[in-house]
């Protein structure tokens, strides 16, 4: 199922470094409309549930600790071809490999503190959006 929506999180390092406004500007000037957005903080249980796909990976505990250390900005974005276009906009997970001008190239500190999350499929965008937003919060 192809949709025109995707999910993103500005991770704790983006919030801590004061990059919320600059990242949101990059997102909106790239043609995305923000359909829902909130500043929130993940609990340990939230982070473990959200990243359950990585539970057997050696970095799982560090990821949970990182994602719970401070607030995040969760958002649902809309644009034609939203998932793929947003993945292109954020760049490679490793900021040293991210294309010039991508969000991770500009704002990420490292592969483990990479500034922003972007859904990797239409199905995951729907699941991740529903994880962070109630039905009445989504437009």
Q: Which of 22, 45, 44, 43 is nearest to 103 (CA)?
A: 22
Whether 31 contacts 77, CB under 8 Å: no
Residue linked to tokens 């991740």? 128
- Alpha-carbon span 98 to 32, nearest angstrom: 20
Give the active site residue among 117, 125, 126, 128. Answer: 117
Please indicate whether residue 117 is annotated as part of the active site: yes
Residue linked to tokens 């294309």? 99
Catalytic residue ranges: 117
């Amino acid at each position: 199922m192809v949709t025109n929506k995707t999910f993103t999180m500005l991770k704790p390092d983006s919030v801590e470094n004061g990059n919320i406004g600059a990242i949101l500007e990059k997102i909106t000037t790239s043609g995305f409309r923000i359909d829902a957005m909130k500043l929130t903080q993940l609990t340990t249980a939230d982070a473990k549930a959200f990243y359950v796909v990585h539970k057997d990976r050696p970095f799982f505990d560090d990821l949970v600790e990182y994602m719970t250390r401070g607030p995040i900005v969760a958002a649902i974005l809309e644009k034609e071809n939203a998932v793929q276009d947003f993945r292109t906009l954020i760049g490679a997970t490793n900021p040293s490999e991210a294309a010039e001008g991508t969000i991770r190239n500009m704002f990420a500190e490292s592969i483990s503190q990479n500034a922003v999350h972007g859904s990797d499929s239409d199905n995951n965008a729907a699941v991740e959006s529903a994880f962070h937003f109630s039905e009445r919060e989504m437009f």
